[in-house]
Amino acid sequence: MRYELKYGCNPNQKPAAVSTDGELPFTVLNGRAGYINLLDALNGWQLVSELRRAAGLPAAASFKHVSPAGAAIGLPLDETLKKMYFVDENAELSPVAAAYIRARGADRMSSFGDFIAISDRVDVSLASILKREVSDGIIAPDYDEEALSILCSKKKGAYTVIRMDPEYVPAPVERRTVYGVTFEQGRNDSVIDENLLLNIVTDNKDLPESAKRDLIIALITLKYTQSNSVCYAEDGQTIGVGAGQQSRIHCTRLAGNKADLWHLRHCPEVLELPFREDIPRPNRDNAIDLYLSDDEWMDVLDEGKWQQFFTRRPEPMSKEKKRAWLARYTETALASDAFFPFGDNIERAFRSGVKYVAQPGGSVRDDDVIKACNEHGLVMCFTGLRLFHH
């Protein structure tokens, strides 16, 4: 069966289509999917399906350009998270709604215009949240009738809504064509669970259940993230994903900077920023990012541009205040899709509150990486499983 796409990666790449020998495992209920939309949808569906099985809770992912901006399971949101994610403090959220709010909240700037994957039936609670967010589409196993009606009204009726067959099992061999050459490989069906965390190689071997959960979330997320990749996770969700970098330390820095921003968004100075009432949520996300960027915020203040966002001038947070606030966070989990070649990755991760690490191991400098963990009292597991994804 064949489905005609709007176009390929770019509008000039036509014709474009997807096909299978038998029935397609999905149905487009509304809108018309594009090439990148379906790459995001099918990668996202695999991610949330695995998270659902591993955690036993509804899962969600927010995808952009074939990597997750965020992924999460459906744990309840406390008052601080609701405020961080611009959710009404009195809102009653279903587990699927909570999962998506967390997934989008991991990196709200990157999630702007995302493609959403949901492991469970989409209800009105989630659809009502999605109604107000800028998003390109969604894939899920099913939809409540009212929820589907809400989603189909987005983007003037052009919002892409896909129903996935949850019973679908793909062929064991994957194929793709690049420059006229066909590649084949066995599908990555490795199971990610607590068995991967048994080989603790550091002096500190205290790995609590919450850390196991977060490491598993990080590892499953990396399985569907463009490599090289590193993922920070905490409280049942990712808080920083570094994807597609050529060096591992750049992954660790990129994801660590995102984790730092997520932690800083908990700070009262950020939660109480005096936004103008007419400022939409995406602009608030941009303003918060500027506010937490030292040099850029000073430029905004010097040029008087703060008035675009705020009713009064917010004074910058000092570097000392930021460091003191970030020092509160010491229970973050971190996973890497391949081994750490140097201890500098551990040093950078530790600065962002990392205490628990999962990586394949196998570097000629494993001893140096273990030593760096021991110096900071970190717990590190060697999984023996590389998770490259391209």
Is 155 known to be catalytic?
no
Q: Residue 20 and residue 5: Cα distance in Å, rounded?
A: 14
CA dihedral 178, 183, 187, 188 (to 10 degrees): -70
Is 65 known to be catalytic?
yes
Quick one: which of 166, 168, 55 has its CA closest to 121? Answer: 166
Quick one: which of 350, 369, 340, 356 has its CA closest to 205? Answer: 356
The confidence score (pLDDT) of residue 228 equals 93
Question: 51-69 burial by CB neighbour count: b if 16+ within 10 A, else e?
Answer: bbebbebbbbbbbbebbbb
Q: What is the pLDDT of residues 26-69, one digit of tens each?
A: 999 999 999 999 999 999 999 999 999 999 999 999 999 999 99
Catalytic residue among 30, 37, 64, 212: 64
Catalytic residue among 6, 65, 155, 376: 65
Quick one: which of 334, 337, 332, 333 has its CA closest to 229? Answer: 337
Quick one: which of 203, 232, 204 has its CA closest to 331? Answer: 232
Average pLDDT value over all residues in the chain: 95
Q: What is the pLDDT of residues 320-340, one digit of tens each?
A: 999 999 999 999 999 999 999
The confidence score (pLDDT) of residue 295 equals 81
Which pTM was predicted? Answer: 0.96
List, as one string, the DSSP characters of 196-255: GG--B-SS-----HHHHHHHHHHHHHHHTSPSSEEEEEETTEEEEEEES-SSHHHHHHHH
The confidence score (pLDDT) of residue 224 equals 97
Q: Residue 126 and residue 117: Cα distance in Å, rounded?
A: 12
Q: Comparing 124-133, 163-172, 295-304, which segment has the lowest mean pLDDT?
A: 295-304
Q: Is 301 buried (19+), middle (13-18) or exposed (0-12) by CB count in 10 A?
A: middle
- Scanning the structure block, which residue is given the tokens 């996935």? 164
Catalytic residue among 212, 228, 322, 355: 228
